[in-house]
Amino acid sequence: MIVRSHKDAEKSAVEDDKWISRRYTLRKDGMGHSVHETCIKPGQELHMWYKNHTETVLCIEGEGQIEDLTEGGKWELKPGVLYALDKHQQHILSSEKGMTVICTFSPALVGPETHDEQGSYPLLDDDGSVLKR
């Protein structure tokens, strides 16, 4: 059994000027997915495209918006609203006042991943090096 606290997840946090991601489970845990608490900082608009991963996101605090740039559509996000990027959709996630979401990624993240210029996470080997396709 794996039991982790918020304090534990802070040890594997990755942060940039727009968000902070506290990573509760990672590939090394052997679950097949990773679980993250991500706080979108106020006034942010994130352009993302997870080419290598699928992601499910549940809003737990604050409000924001998800815009699907691949298939079209915009949805308001508030606590209790979930979206899933099942087809690697390019999207914009935004929040005027800040928002906290719980995310799962498959395949699981290794831990140090940050977004590249296209808003994607690279596929990493267990040692953190980029896997060649």
73 pLDDT above the threshold of 80: yes
**Neighbour-count burial of 52, counting CB atoms closer than 10 A to its CB (0-12 exposed, 13-18 middle, 19+ buried):** middle
What is the distance between the alpha carbons of residues 113 and 97, in angstroms, rounded to a whole number? 25
Residue 17 is given by DSSP the state: S
pLDDT digits (tens, 9 = 90+) for 3-59: 999 999 999 899 999 999 999 999 999 999 999 999 999 999 999 999 999 999 999
Does residue 130 carry a pLDDT above 90?
A: no
Is there a contact between 14 and 21 (Cβ–Cβ < 8 Å)? Answer: yes
91-114 residue pLDDT tens: 999 999 999 999 999 999 988 777
Name the pLDDT band for 129 (thresholds 50, 70, 90).
confident
